[in-house]
Amino acid sequence: MTRLLTVLAMLLLVLPACSGKSETPDTVVMNIAKSLDAGHPEAIWDALPASYQADIDSVRILFSARMDKDLYDKGFKVFGKLVNVFKTKGDFIKGTPMAQAIPQSQTDPATWDTMVAGMQTFATSELSTLDGLKKLNIRQFLSTSGSDISKQAVALSRMGPGEGAKIERLSDIQVTVVKQEKDRATLSIKAGDQTEEQDWVVVEDKWVPEDLATGWKVDELKDQIRAMVITPEQKTQVLMIMGMADGALDQLQNAATQEEFNQALQGIMGPLMGGMMGGGMMQEDFE
């Protein structure tokens, strides 16, 4: 993926919010870019249409009410251990046969450390416990942990490979209005030597990408969450597999040499995969 696609994905898909209709759509996109450069993704939340904010928060509330606390909290604890292995055993990970297929640009020290920092921020954030998710103030999260993650994501986008958009800051993009008719506009967004056009529309006095507006189907997502049922037997199976992963990560953490690390990795892959298959961890079991 080129850097232009990375930039556009961040601006138009992950963080698609916009400012009020009183601003022109090109100004909206530039303000988003400047906010991200400054490490303030909470400005994105402030600019979302009110109904979109309410929809997102209602999904958070519904999911946290339906989710099993033991599974959620244990999952984050195991993820935290994984992050620590990435942090302290990075050279061993890079030295495994599986890592040889990873592009070198993604394993150089600066890129690796930035990626691990982002993982650690996520693993220790307010999202790391179900109680934290239930109490989460989304705007406050974006202004704290979200700000750190945003900075780390922007830094990673600058380190990525490719001959595409070579820009130091997101606000270095160039945005122009190709055409505009009342509540609809076509924007040309140029990053480096690549350009892409996007259609934007007005929703509740806010400019948003047309793809976002037409694809906003929160009710379908809520129906999927309501249908999410895990039986006691499935919960036991999942906790067992998480326990195996937990122990496996301890083995990797305790490895003192590359050979020990490789042997530990080989020794745990089989049992883990067998547990997932034999434990019934297939998608249809959770439908």
Q: What percent of the chain has pLDDT over 70?
A: 82
The residues pairing with 201 across neighbouring beta strands, listed in sequence order, are: 184, 208
> When comparing pLDDT for 275 and 191, which is higher?
191
pLDDT digits (tens, 9 = 90+) for 98-112: 888 887 777 888 889
Model pTM above 0.85 = no
The total number of structural domains in the chain stands at: 2
Q: Which of 1-5, 119-123, 132-136, 153-157 has the lowest mean pLDDT?
A: 1-5
As separate numbers, helices (DSSP H) first and strands (DSSP E) second, the chain gives 14, 4
Based on the fold, state whether residues 159 and 240 are members of the same structural domain.
no
In residues, how long is the chain? 287
Both tokens of residue 250? 């301890």
Based on the fold, state whether residues 8 and 146 are members of the same structural domain.
yes
DSSP state of 166: -
* Residue 159: inside a domain: yes
* Residue 213: inside a domain: no
Residue 49 has pLDDT above 80, yes or no: yes
Query: Do residues 111 and 105 touch, judged by C-beta distance below 8 A?
Result: yes
| Amino acid in the structure at residue 1 | M
Based on the fold, state whether residues 165 and 240 are members of the same structural domain.
no
Query: Do residues 53 and 45 touch, judged by C-beta distance below 8 A?
Result: yes
Give the domain extent around 41: 3-172
What pLDDT does 202 receive? 95
pLDDT digits (tens, 9 = 90+) for 130-176: 999 999 999 999 999 999 988 888 777 766 555 444 556 788 889 99
pLDDT digits (tens, 9 = 90+) for 59-78: 999 999 999 999 999 999 99
The end-to-end CA distance of the chain, in Å, is 33
In sequence order, what DSSP letters do the residues of 86-121 get, joined into one string?
A: HHHSHHHHHTSGGGGGS-GGGTSHHHHHHHHHHHHH
* Residue 178: inside a domain: no
Query: Do residues 93 and 85 touch, judged by C-beta distance below 8 A?
Result: yes
160: part of which helix (H) or strand (E)? none
Query: Do residues 203 and 47 touch, judged by C-beta distance below 8 A?
Result: no
* Residue 207: inside a domain: no
Looking at 156, 172, 188, which one is the last position of a domain?
Answer: 172
Based on the fold, state whether residues 124 and 49 are members of the same structural domain.
yes
Query: What does residue 209 show for φ and ψ, rounded to 5 degrees?
Result: -60, 140
What pLDDT does 232 receive? 95
Based on the fold, state whether residues 56 and 153 are members of the same structural domain.
yes
What pLDDT does 26 receive? 93
What pLDDT does 98 receive? 83
| Among 199, 193, 192, CA closest to 178 | 199
Based on the fold, state whether residues 119 and 258 are members of the same structural domain.
no
- For residue 51, the Cα-to-chain-centroid distance in whole angstroms is 23
pLDDT digits (tens, 9 = 90+) for 145-154: 999 988 888 7
Radius of gyration of the chain (CA): 22
